[in-house]
Amino acid sequence: MSTITSAPRSRRSDGARRRARTEATSGLLFSLPAILFVVVLFIVPLVLAAWMSLNDWPLIGDPSFNAPDNYVAISNNKLFMDSVLFTLKYTAVVTVIFLAVALGLALLVQSTRPGVGLFRTAFLLPAAVGVASSALLFYAMYNNDYGPLDDVLRALGLISGDADFLGTPNAAFASTVLMVTWRFAGFYMIVLLTGLQAIPVEVYEASRMDGASWWQTLRLITLPLLKPTILLVLVLSVTGSLLAFEPFYVLTAGGPSNSTVTMVIAMFREAFTLFDLGSAAAIAMVILVALVAINLGQMYAFRDKDKK
């Protein structure tokens, strides 16, 4: 590339300009498919979603401008307003559980003992099964006639009589939390494990020399150094749970009596049961803004403490 260093100054800068131009052309050509995908399938739909939210937009028929009716209607939409509280509760509960379980598993399989790889695989394997399939699998397990779970609980003496895993709001909620923990714990374990393995061994050795106990090492060394990874887990878990759809849509179908309807299920029903795409788009925009705000807030909270 640098073979013309002996050329006169003006010609060299000419050549450099030409090279920069061909480089820009090649770069644009190579990234053209990616640009097309981002623009046509992401940016245009995003703008269209914003526009749809300002219109009365039936599934079939002509749209008409009606802003801000769709947004005003949100506050009267009981299904969605209830779903906001429910989704927040679900997000808080599963995020705490994911963090605790995944951290426990990651600390457990951080060891270098023989056979530890097999245990990692065992914990991670559910993450390969689709969320919809996992929900169906647990749906069958929770079925009293077909599934083994009620028999197991009865044999352990934990319940008497018939179990009702999906019949009451609380049971349906807990059953779904158990299912997603099974499905996602291994995934978050691996995320945390990569963070744990990035901590140099010397740090642990130094803390052992200082006579720190296991608990002190965890609290004063491991967790602070793991902060960036924990933030990643928080962002992933909060985002995923706020947008939860499959677990409840498949496992509980939003029931019993709409007690487990998440925000995305409420939006989905607005669009494809009530055929009101404009209102669905307005809800989608609200979810989008809330999600970005929450994630920025989390990152800000974590960054702030780091500086002190």
User: Which of 84, 94, 102, 277 contacts another protein by CB under 8 A?
Assistant: 277
For 50-65, letters b (16+ CB in 10 Å) and e give eebbbbbbeeeeeeee
Gap between the Cα atoms of 55 and 62, Å rounded: 10
Closer Cβ to another protein, 74 or 105, answer by number: 105
- Helix boundaries (H) for the chain: 9-38, 44-52, 69-76, 78-108, 116-124, 131-141, 149-155, 169-197, 201-209, 214-216, 223-225, 227-242, 246-251, 263-272, 277-307
Closer Cβ to another protein, 40 or 92, answer by number: 40
Contact code string over 218-257 relative to another protein, x by CB under 8 A? ----------xx--x----------x-xx--xx--x----
Contact code string over 126-165 relative to another protein, x by CB under 8 A? xxxxxxxx--xxxxxx-x--x-x-----------------
Closest CA to 306 of 195, 238, 226: 226
User: Which of 35, 85, 155, 301 contacts another protein by CB under 8 A?
Assistant: 35
CB under 8 A: which stretch of 84-92, 154-162, 167-175, 290-298 binds another protein?
A: 290-298
CB under 8 A: which stretch of 80-88, 90-98, 159-167, 288-296 binds another protein?
A: 288-296
Name which of residues 91 to 110 contact another protein (CB under 8 A): 105, 108-109
One-letter amino acid for residue 275 of the chain = F
Gap between the Cα atoms of 226 and 270, Å rounded: 41
CB under 8 A: which stretch of 6-14, 68-76, 273-281, 298-306 binds another protein?
A: 273-281
User: Which of 30, 112, 202, 273 contacts another protein by CB under 8 A?
Assistant: 30
- 195 lines the binding site for another protein (CB under 8 A): yes
